[in-house]
Structure 1
Amino acid sequence: MAWATPVRVRVPPPAPRSLCHRGLSSLTQAKSWRESYTELKEIVVPPHCNHHGTVFGGHILALIDQVAGVTAMEHCGSPSVVTLSMDRVTFYHPVKEGQMLHLQARVTYTGQSSLEVYVKVYGKDLADPGRPPWLTCEAYTTFVLVDANGRPVPAVPPLLLETPEDRALFEAAAARKEARLAEARRRRPQL
């Protein structure tokens, strides 16, 4: 039995909407990242720790995939999304047994059949309320909306870009996507 139950919180969308990145109005079912924003909180317990008493990196990676997957499903309005990739994850600071992990996930990019979800992971010491939360790691994950046969479906709702920050995150995500595609072409084995 788990010691703590993960909690997911959704933030309501704002009332006014702007144009989405595909140049369409909000009548095309474009969505704000706020509509699928997801949080997950979990207390670090002994089964999730290494011999140093800190959380296993692999456990954090699994939580990142989980919270990002829920975010992608919420944005697409479908459970039929699969993880395509997780960009390099660097662990900045450890989280110890008894401390809390707090994951925050938001959509930063949408294509025709794929979307990127950015996840920040914070640590928090519940025994020291004066200590501010610290950034543990961050990750960019890519998901693909698929049909029953596992083939990509070009039906991902476009992302509304409401602020300069939204646009900057979207442009950076588009550049990461191009870099991933170029790397995939370079690594593709010759037949």
Structure 2
Amino acid sequence: MRFFSRKLIKPQDLNAHGTLFGGSVLAWVDEEAAIYVICQLGKSNIATKFMSEIDFVSSAKLGDIIEIGMETVNFGKSSITVKCEVRHKFTKETIIRIDKIVFVHLDEEGRPTPHNINKPVN
């Protein structure tokens, strides 16, 4: 797993309990996963197709720094599957884990189309 992105937990990222809001972290994961996949395929015309169960293991609080890691799981004909872990930067404690995020490569009309990649570009 490679960790590329870090986030500082700010007041607007908190829920009513004063801990990291799940919606915030999922938006960050979706964006980071898309960037990761674009870099793997060398192509930007992709869409998120599927996200498996999201395991909320722990949380973060105001001022914590988290990091988002991605790893390629599989290359399909028109898809790529990655997994993700979000963890505390310093303690390395897992915050969330997602085993499968599937992206699909699209043509100009938004239909799945082969990406012709079977190993990471970058």
Could you say whether these structures have the same fold, taking a TM-score greater than 0.5 normalized by the shorter chain as the test? yes
Shift of 1:156: 4.1
Distance across 1 between alignment mates of 2:53 and 2:102? 12
1:113 aligns with 2:109: no
- Of residues 66, 87, 90, the one that matches 2:55 is 90
Unaligned runs of 5+ in 1: 1-33, 126-131, 161-191
Counterpart CA distance in 1 for 2:29 and 2:116 is 21
The reply to whether residue 81 of structure 1 matches residue 50 of structure 2 is no
Q: Is the 8 A contact 1:76 1:157 kept in 2?
A: yes
- State which of 133, 146, 159 in structure 1 corresponds to 2:92: 133
Structure 1 counterpart SS, 2:104: strand
Per residue, is there more strand in 1 or in 2? 2
Match of 1:56 in 2: 21
Structure 2 Cα separation of the partners of residues 38 and 155 of structure 1: 25
Moved over 3 A (4+): none
The total of aligned residue pairs comes to 119
List runs of 5+ in structure 2 lacking aligned partners.
none
- Structure 1's 95 and 38: CA in aligned 2 closer, same or farther, altered over 3 A? closer
Q: Between Structure 1 and Structure 2, whose CA radius of gyration is higher? A: 1
Q: Relative CO higher for 1 or 2, CA cutoff 8 Å, sep ≥ 6? A: 2
Amino acid at match of 2:109: N
